[in-house]
Amino acid sequence: MARTDSLAKLAFAYGVHLTRRRLTRPRSQFASLLETYAPDGIRPLLPEERERHPQLIGCINCGLCALAAGRIGSVRPPDLATSYMRLYARLGAAASDLVGESPDLAAAASACPVGVPLDEVAAIVRRLAAG
Amino acid sequence: MSAPSAQDVCVIGGGVTGAGIARDLSLRGLSVLLLEKSDWGGGTTGSSSWMIHGGPRYLEFDWDTTRLSTQDAGYIVSIARNMVYRVVFIIPVLPHDKNNIERMETAMEVYDRFQPLKHAHPHVRLTAEEAREAEPGLSPDIIGAVTMEEWGVDPHRLVFANVQDAVAHGTRALNHTRVVDLLRDGGKVIGVRYRGSDGSMSEARAKVVVNAAGPWVPEVGRMAGAAVHLRPAKGIHIVYPHRISNFSISAESIDGRDLLLVSHAGFTLLGTTDDDFYGDLDSVDVLEDEVDYLLQAFERVFPSIRDYRPVRTTTGVRPTLFKWRRYEDELSRRYEVIDHAPDGAEGFVTIAGGKLSMYRLMAEETSDAVCRKLGHQAPCVTATRPLPGNESDVEPADELGRAFGITALAAMKLQTRQGSNAAAVLKEARSGRMVCRCEPITEAELVHAARHEQVRTLADAFRRVGLAAGPCAGTACVLRAAGVIGNELGWSASQRFDAAREFVRGAWLGRAPILGHSGWAQEEMASGAMRGLRN
């Protein structure tokens, strides 16, 4: 009985929806989507970041890059690639950790056994943390 | 055997429902004993999708479940505000999908009526181009999308916050304690016999015994001679140690089921399956076929999914109410409070069925039934009373980090687990040394967990603070954590090693079905770093 009732109500809602779609001109809601969820740190990756993303998160936390380069602000390179690159929604709350000098990330990346491009990792983390 | 203790109520099962019942009853002034055979949230609760959601899929079957579920989700979001975060789904539509874009938007329009109950925003409709701008990884074949908002939560912390509050109000809560039998006096259940974590046997008298054992309720029911019928359903998730996308994504499986890729706080869950389960509830394995079933579905909407390295799988069994002649996916998530007095087991009450996002309501109704049996009159207050750590706003993470010499990220992560109690945790042990850098977890938090949060194994620490939950899957932290916890619990060197080995072996069962590509590179390194632990 509950199922019949539910399906009937959905069918009615479907009719109302189709009628409304015919009578009103659709407007883009994309900008409002981004605006609504920006405070929650839910922001799109850029197409170029998306393409490189599987490589950017390949760190296996062996720690070799920490021997090749110093800290980015107060963050060790392996922590940047493992922890910060997990892209927490509240990454903005940790933006202050990344303030300061940048070490030689090319040297750090050349020590990486799985080829994580640490300069790209730093760029994406900084962009998303800045909001 | 020690002399039996006596309390008003004994609750069997330390999942979110059992913990919620213990909290509810203790806040109503009753004395409670809460027993869990493994760890808090170690069964079905911990293997959920980590969401407080209303369940739009139930709109096809039962609007009442959706209404109750969203309403109770709203209460949970309010009492656990420092633990929850928004999860926003893009639901892409492909040509020939079961539901076209108009039907999908209709469902979301109906769901929007319930969304205010859980403080969520209404849906948005996107063109194919807009959807791909929001998530560039979506397939070029999609023809449009709608969005849907839900709430994410760490179910392990949610359970423990309930246990904590129950204990603060007089509950005696014991994990790693298995009920082996019920004490009976003629047709009345008068208590439980249980084996403690040290192997010793004890008895406890109770005026009412509550069976909140999730999928194990039939087994506990049999001890009282009461039949409880479930239709247990197995579900698995693949766990990725990063957010693959900032937006969560849904996909249709080969058999037309709705699957979800859920972006949580720093990791991604992909699931879930839903299959009748007839095996041993204490030994549920993930099969490679199940992993492939999930990946196949997501490849259609998110083609690069196989380029990502999962870190483990999870599996659990849903305690679904019994129903004949229904596909698993069509089974209701309703629950039932059963008083077994008519079955000849007076003083024995079972709560069966339900789902995480209705746990508080299930606990309230079960507690109401218990209070009626005891003639105890006290109102339920759990809908409005904040859980521990959620009484006030958290301070800015960078200020907390500076005060204790840890990074803002470590402070922020600590706040997601401890809420406004984070500073107190750091103050007690005063060690900002990082034990687990992926998560990240400080030594102070681990010490606090061992001293005050009933952590007795490394798997308990995984549940309580997220130990070894990150990309390295424990390579760098397991032995270090065994040292810190062992120090607090008085473990010898060999006990520390055994604890680490037990954890690594348990974790392997969840890792084996998903290893491939760089997963094996990680595994090689882990094998070297933890030499001897797998022998």
CB contact (8 A) between residue B134 and residue A30: yes
Domain limits, chain A: 2-130
CA distance A105 to chain B (A): 19
Global pTM reads 0.94
Mean pLDDT confidence for B16-33:
98
B467 lies in some domain? yes
Digit-coded pLDDT (tens) for B179-210: 999 999 999 999 999 999 999 999 999 999 99
Same domain, yes or no: B421 and B498: yes
B372 part of contact set with chain A, CB < 8 Å: no
Please tell me if residue B374 touches chain A, with a CB cutoff of 8 Å: no
Q: Do B247 and A44 touch (CB under 8 A)?
A: yes
Min Cα–Cα distance to chain A from B439, Å: 6
My answer on whether B37 and B92 are in the same domain is no
**Of A19, A48, A95, which Cα lies nearest the Cα of B411?**
A95
Same domain, B142 and B258: yes
| Cβ within 8 Å, pair A89-B246 | yes
The residues pairing with B235 across neighbouring beta strands, listed in sequence order, are: B316
> Cβ atoms within 10 A of the Cβ of B484, count?
26
Q: How many CB atoms lie within 10 A of CB B511?
A: 20
Mean pLDDT of chain B, nearest integer: 93
* Residues of A whose CB is below 8 A from B414: none
- Show the CA angle centred on residue A23, arms to residues B106 and B61, nearest 5°: 15
Residues B213 and B346 in one domain: yes
Q: Does the model's ipTM exceed the 0.90 cut?
A: yes
Chain-chain contact of B242 with A57 (C-beta, under 8 angstroms):
yes
Quick one: pLDDT at residue B323?
A: 84
Report the residue from A44, A83, A114 with minimal CB separation from B409: A83
Chain B residues in contact with A80 by the CB 8 A cut-off are none
CATH number, residue B102: 3.30.9.10
- Say what the pLDDT of residue B420 is: 96
Does the distance separating the beta carbons of B266 and A17 come in below 8 Å?
Answer: no
Q: Do B125 and A57 touch (CB under 8 A)?
A: no
The answer to whether the beta carbons of residues B138 and B29 sit under 8 Å apart is: no
Distance CA B452, CA B360 (A): 24
Pairing of strands B144-152, B172-174: unpaired
Please check the confidence at residue B60 and state whether its pLDDT lies above 60. Answer: yes
Provide the pLDDT for residue B65: 83
The answer, yes or no, to whether residue B222 has pLDDT greater than 80, is yes
Domain containing B403 — which CATH number?
1.10.8
The residue of B243, B393, B480 whose CB has the most chain A CBs within 10 angstroms, and thus the best one to mutate to test that interface, is B243
What count of other Cβ atoms lies within 10 Å of the Cβ of residue A82? 27
| One domain, residues B243 and B312 | yes
Confidence at B519, pLDDT banded by 50, 70, 90: low
Chain A residues whose CB is inside 8 A of the B99 CB are none
Q: Which residue of B has its CA nearest to A54?
A: B308
The residues, ordered by sequence, that sit 6+ positions from B5 with a Cβ below 8 Å of its Cβ are: B33, B172, B202, B203, B204, B205
Mean pLDDT of A11-19: 97
Q: How many domains does chain B have?
A: 3
pLDDT reported for residue B534: 56
Tell me the residue range of the domain where B164 lies. 5-44+156-227+333-374
Q: Name the more confident of B52 and B517.
A: B52
Q: Looking at the partner chain, which of B105, B130, B470 has a beta carbon nearest the beta carbon of A17? A: B105
Do B280 and B357 fall within a single domain? no
Question: Nearest 5°: CA angle at A90, between B406 and B485?
Answer: 45
The predicted structure's pLDDT at residue B2: 63
Residue that is written with structure tokens 């962009």 in the block: A127
Chain A environment of B472 (Cβ under 8 Å): 60-61, 82
Strand segments, DSSP code E, in B39-121 are: 51-52, 85-93
Which whole number is the average pLDDT over B43-69? 89
Q: What pLDDT band is residue B412 in, cutting at 50, 70 and 90?
A: very high
SS3 assignment for B316-333: EEECCECCCCCCHHHCCC
Domain termination site, one of B265, B293, B327 = B327
Output the pLDDT for position B325: 72
Contact criterion met (CB < 8 Å) for B438 and A63: no
Chain B residue numbers touching A95 (CB-CB < 8 A): 408
- Identify any residues that bridge with B313 across adjacent strands, giving them in sequence order: B238
Query: Nearest CA of chain A to the CA of B238: how many Å?
Result: 16
Subunit contact B63:A45, Cβ cutoff 8 A? no
Instruction: Please report whether residue B380 resides in a domain.
Output: no
Q: What is the pLDDT of residue A11?
A: 96
B97 and B12: one domain?
no
Helix (H) or strand (E) holding B505: helix B493-511
